[in-house]
Amino acid sequence: GENVEQHPSTLSVQEGDSAVIKCTYSDSASNYFPWYKQELGKGPQLIIDIRSNVGEKKDQRIAVTLNKTAKHFSLHITETQPEDSAVYFCAADSGGSYIPTFGRGTSLIVHP
C-alpha cells in the first residue's frame, strides 16, 4: 500500500516568514495529493490539493508543488500569520483506491 513520509514534525517560524513542509510517497500510481490543516480540537480541513497532471498550484499565500518523478510534494506558506499555527497533514491516494493515506503531520508554530 501507499506510504507517506512527512518532514519536519515540528516547524517554528516568526510571523511574516515562509514555511515549507515536505512529503514523499511510495505509490507511483498515486494521482491526488491533498493537504489538510487541523486546529486544536477540530477535525482536519482541506486547504489545498493537487493532481498528478499539474506541477504547481497556488491559492493566495499557500502553494503546493509536485514532482512525480521524485515522488515528492511540498506545501509552501508565505507571509505566515499566528492563525496559521496548526498541524498540517499531507496525503496521497493509492492509485485505483481513491482513499488517501496521511503523513504523520507537521506542527507549525508561528510566533508573533
CB atoms within 10 A of CB 44: 18
- The residues binding another protein (CB under 8 A) are 4, 6, 31-32, 34, 36, 41-46, 49, 89, 91, 93, 97-105
To the nearest whole angstrom, how small is the minimum distance from the Cβ of residue 16 to another protein? Answer: 28
**10 or 81: whose CB is closer to another protein?**
10
Min dist CB 62 to another protein, Å, is 15
Q: Rounded CA gap, 94 and 110, in Å?
A: 32
Residue 78 or 102 having the CB closest to another protein: 102
Residue owning grid cell 505566515:
80
- Of 81, 101, 97, nearest to 89 by C-alpha is 101
Residue type, 80: T
Residue nearer to another protein on the CB measure, 43 or 112: 43
